[in-house]
Each structure stands twice: as C-alpha cells, then as structure tokens.
Structure 1
Amino acid sequence: MTKIIFMGTPDFSVPILKELHKVYGVDLVISQPARPVGRKKVMTDPPVAAAAKLLGIELYQPETMTSEEALERVSDINPDLIVTAAFGQLLPESILNIPVNGALNVHASLLPKHRGGAPIHRAVINGDSKTGVTIMYMAKKLDAGDIISSESINITDSDNTGSLFDKLSRVGASLLMETLPDVLTGKNPRTPQNDKEATFSPNISKSDEVITFNKGAKDVFNHIRGLAPWPVGHTILDGKRLKIYSAELTEINTDAAPGTITGQSDNGFFVAAKDKLVNITEVQLAGKKKNNALDFINNNSALIGRKLGESE
C-alpha cells in the first residue's frame, strides 16, 4: 500500500486532498497552524486542516517544516509520496529526499510562468488570457522543479480570482489523479523548466491592494477582479477607504481626470480611467456594509464629480 503525506492550507487544496484520499488514501495531512480570524480573533484552522479532521486523517500543524520535530514526523510515516498544494512553506531537502516516489506539487499556473505564492491573483491582474495547473517535482528552488504534466484553461472577462481558484482546484484534482499512476510506476515524463522563461508572482502586499485609476480601463478592471473576492482592492473616497468588489468594462471614452466619478450607470456608477470609463458595481465604504454600487450612488448622489484616490 502506498503511503502518502499531503501538505496544503487554503480552500484551493481541499478538493485535491479529498480526491487523493478517496482514490489512494492519505496517511498524514500537514497544514498551517490555526490562526486568529475576524474582529473577535477566533482561532481558526485553515481549510485543509478542517477537512483533514472531518475525513479522520491524522493531522500535523507545525509552525515550520525546518525543525527536527517536522523531520521526525515525516520520517515516522516514511511516505512513498508527498503531495503539496498551496502549502505555504518551503520544504528542506532532508524532507524532499524521503519519499521514494518523490515530492510533487500541484501548482496553479503554467510553469515556468507565475512561480510563487499568488499565481492566480497575478494572472488575473496581469490580464493573462489563460492559466492552468502544473504537476511538478519539488526542488530546493521555489517552483523550479521538473514538470510532469500540465493542463490549461482560458481566463474570461467574467472570471475573478475566486472563480479561477474554484476552476483550477478541480483541474488540479483531476490532473493529479491522471498523473499519479505513471508517477507511482516510474513511467512519467520529467521536463526541466526553462529558467529564462520564468516569471514570479509573490504574495499580494498591502500596496498591491490599492486601486489606482491613472492607467487604462482594462488594467483597472483586471486589478479589481484580480483582488476579488479576497483580499479586495480599495481606493479612498473623502478620506475613507472604499473597497471595490466588482466592476465592468465599458467602451465609453472619457477625458475626465482619472478617478473621477462621472455619473450613475444602470447597475452602479462610472469612474474615469486614463482612456475609458469603468463601471463600478459593488462597493463597501469603511464602517458600512457591502452594497451594490447603484444603491450606494443613489444614496450619495453628491459624490458625482468627486475624485477617488485621494490620500488617507
């Protein structure tokens, strides 16, 4: 019987864990520790840890995988295979070298493009037309291991980061099941990555969350949906933070100053970008509930003509 350790943390990883456990069985799940969540700072397990408990799989939640304890825990299982999916920690070579069938990573991009911790967010923000999932061998260098298999999907204008997370999670689970039989029999291909073609997608920073309008409407639109539904982009309105959850592209040209609220739309309000108007459709002003943008502008019609993006 194949012994498998699975390592993952967010919602993206849960369908992959479930499918892997259903088909092969998982002997140990390793996930990040519980963290305080929300205004009340309630200690909450990450989604993979919660799923492991529901599935009745042994769970280990270390702060770091570089400790002697972590090495001992993995060595005690002596896995034939390690599978990771958005785990959030680099693994030391001492652990990577344990499984006889290797350590695989289910990565949410078409490597070598978008190595790093935020490949889905960055693909949307960058305006990529397609993305996908790559199954690769883990290596000491981040997301640089040999490629075993990959599958691509298109990114449409109706997608945001949340919808792509769901799509790619399902693709990842399916692709992993297609790939594992050859991995476990040693018949799989291994294609080295071309480092010269690599791009990097670091985790989203606080500065990345600021929506600015002094660029093309397409870029503004991609930025907004690339941060939706989390962490959610924001701008400043009358000194208060205004979160922007969703928007639509228009073909309406404008010569208004970027960031200017130019008027009401059928389902929200228009804001000027550098070339065209962007239709904002869902917002949340600091201290208020999330609101559809049409109700927001109807209740605040005096805001028409104001400019978004003034400093806090």
Structure 2
Amino acid sequence: MKIVFLGTPEFAVPILEGLYQNYEIALVVSQPNRVKKKGVFIDTPVASKAHELNLKLIQPESIKDSIDEILSIGADTLITAAYGQYLPSKLLNGFKVKVNVHGSLLPYHRGGAPIQRCLMNGDEKTGVTIMEMAKKLDGGKIYSMEEYVIKEEDNSTTLFEKLSIMGKDLLLKTLPDIYDGKNLGIPQDDSLATYSANISPEEEEIHLNRKSLDIFNQVRGLALEPGAYLKVKDIKLKVFKVSILDYKGNEAPGTVLSIKKGITLKTLDGAITLDSVLMPGKKITSGKDFSNGQKIFTLGDVILSE
C-alpha cells in the first residue's frame, strides 16, 4: 500500500502520524500556509508534521493544478482528513482506494464544520466515520463508524482532539479490509443527511437576546478557535466558556447584572456568567480575574448587538 495523504488542521495530524508508523506515505498534500505570526506565514499543522517526518509535501492553491503531479507518484491509496478543498473526479479515479476520515456520524453533519456544529446544535452524541471519497459531498459509502457521547465540559478544541485520535484508531483498524476488498462499505441514506457549513464571521458574535443554553452551545462550539465574542463599547471580548444561571429577573436581555467576582449578564430566559475570556492583545483569563479592574462592563448597562 502506497499512500497519498491530504490534510490541513490539527485534526489530521494524529491520523498522518498513525499512517506513517504503519505504511509508506509517498506524498503529503496540505492547504497553503495562510496564518501569519510576526509577519511570517507559519506552516499548517499537517505541513509542519510532514517536515518533521521528512515526507514529501506540496501545498497547491488549487488541487486541480496538481492532479498530474499527484498521480505521477504512483500511489494506490488516497486518504484525506479535513483537507479543505473539493477533490475532482479525475483525481479520485486515479486511486484503487480513496478514504476520508470524517468527524461526524454520517449522514448527519456532512460538510466542513461537523464538530463545531454538533456542539452548537446541542447534539448529545457525535463520532467519526471512515468513508469512501465520492463526488457527492461526504456522500460516499460508509466503511466503519464509532460513536462518542458528548460531555458537558467538551468544547470544539477538546472534541477535535478526541475525535482525531478516535479517527486514527478506527482508520488503522478498518483500512486493511478496505484495501483487500473485504469491506465494501454500506451506502448512506441520503434522506437523513444534514449539512454543516463552515462557520461564518457573523455566527461568532454572541447575541444576549437568545436563550442561555443556545449561547452556552455557541460558545463551546467555537472555543477556542475562532472563538465567540461579545461586542462591548467597540471592543470584541472573546468568550471561551460560560455558565448558565437559573435567574428569573425581568431585566432586558443584555443587562449587566453583576460585575463583582465575575460578570453576569441577562439572557432571554435567564442569565450567564463569563468564565473564560480574552481581551484583545491580552492573555486568556478567568471571568473572576477579568472582573477585577475591568472597565468595559458597567452595572445596569444593557449590551445590545447590532
């Protein structure tokens, strides 16, 4: 088995490492480096790991421009994990086996943000699916699947880590039978499909005229990256964790209820406290520590979203 691996974020790194320890990786393909630090583009997590493992790496702006180069490697197996680009049929048809590690229980949460949106939706469970790469978005045959019951303390960062390890182990367990033709896969029921589009910038802002549970799910679904935020006095305060309070007051949603030993805010049906926040240019701090000396929240003010 000779593998071409496609992946970009941290989710894909353990999967690449697991494959490297067991198979020949002929080529790694990752998205271009787009994040700058101190004015310099830094490697994607997969690109960084490929360099560390001394693997051949390409990072095309468009995968379409590198199809011939990829196929010239002579690999027979294509494996993807959160790569981030649509793969043309010409590329897929060049491999005996083409497998994707997807972070949901397909056919639920097809698309680019399944892990974030299962939390934002308040789902009770999620998991990973080993599936056949097909022309239809995340619509290929299912080879194997493993379920994970979501814990209250999970956020997108912890869930990415857990599902990545789960995906690595499930892929290594499933791949030999796929390659040998012993696992032919099971078609998905398209009538049950749901879609989880990438997170838009507008979805990052916290609106306090929503229910507390909806805000709780939004915050943990976006923590730590990109992070939900409250806009207060033209400052975007990142919020990484909140707690729900059973509060029955009649104040308007957005009212600042307390600024001592923490920030408490009125929601549509109760109240929340800010447990972990980040001011621009500062370090992440607890809500309690932030409340000591902060100057953006004033008791009784109403925080309104635009």
Correspondent of 2:49 among 42, 48, 51: 51
Compute the displacement of 1:273 (Å): 1.2
Correspondent of 1:164 among 143, 159, 162: 159
Q: Which residue of structure 2 aligns with residue 24 of structure 1?
A: 23
Determine whether 1:193 maps to 2:188. Answer: yes
Q: Which residue of structure 2 aligns with residue 13 of structure 1?
A: 12
**What does 1:229-308 align with in structure 2 at a 5 Å threshold?**
229-264=224-259, 268-300=262-294, 303-308=298-303
**Which amino acid counterpart does residue 56 of structure 1 have in structure 2?**
N
**Gap change, CA 1:164 and 1:79, over 3 Å in 2:** same
Q: Which residue of structure 2 aligns with residue 89 of structure 1?
A: 85
Q: Which residue of structure 1 aligns with residue 223 of structure 2?
A: 228
Q: Mean Cα displacement is larger for which, 225-234 or 284-293?
A: 284-293
Q: TM-score, normalised by structure 2?
A: 0.95
Q: What CA distance in whole angstroms lies between the structure 2 residues aligned with 1:55 and 1:156?
A: 34
Aligned partners of 1:265 and 1:279 also within 8 Å: no
Q: What CA distance in whole angstroms lies between the structure 2 residues aligned with 1:32 and 1:310?
A: 35
Determine whether 1:139 maps to 2:167. Answer: no
What is the RMSD computed on CA atoms of the aligned residues?
1.6
Correspondent of 1:130 among 99, 115, 125: 125
Correspondent of 2:113 among 118, 122, 125: 118
**Gap change, CA 1:15 and 1:265, over 3 Å in 2:** farther
**Which amino acid counterpart does residue 285 of structure 2 have in structure 1?**
N
**Which amino acid counterpart does residue 52 of structure 1 have in structure 2?**
A
Deviation sequence 1:57-86 (CA, Å, 0-9, x none): 11111111112xx12212211211100000
Q: What CA distance in whole angstroms lies between the structure 2 residues aligned with 1:93 and 1:210?
A: 38
Compute the displacement of 1:162 (Å): 0.3
**Gap change, CA 1:22 and 1:275, over 3 Å in 2:** same
Q: Which residue of structure 2 aligns with residue 106 of structure 1?
A: 101
Aligned partners of 1:147 and 1:193 also within 8 Å: yes
**Which amino acid counterpart does residue 23 of structure 2 have in structure 1?**
Y
Number of equivalent positions: 305
**Which amino acid counterpart does residue 97 of structure 1 have in structure 2?**
N
Q: TM-score, normalised by structure 1?
A: 0.93
Compute the displacement of 1:137 (Å): 0.4
Determine whether 1:79 maps to 2:78. Answer: no
**Which amino acid counterpart does residue 66 of structure 1 have in structure 2?**
K
Unaligned ranges ≥5, structure 2? none
**Gap change, CA 1:287 and 1:31, over 3 Å in 2:** closer
SS of match in other structure, 1:252: coil
Q: What CA distance in whole angstroms lies between the structure 1 residues aligned with 2:157 and 2:283?
A: 20
SS of match in other structure, 1:167: helix
Aligned partners of 1:216 and 1:275 also within 8 Å: yes
Query: What percent of counterpart residues are identical?
Result: 43
**Gap change, CA 1:185 and 1:259, over 3 Å in 2:** same
**Which amino acid counterpart does residue 166 of structure 2 have in structure 1?**
V
Deviation sequence 1:232-287 (CA, Å, 0-9, x none): 11121123222112112233333221121211475x22111111211211223345
Q: What CA distance in whole angstroms lies between the structure 2 residues aligned with 1:113 and 1:144?
A: 10
**Which amino acid counterpart does residue 5 of structure 1 have in structure 2?**
V
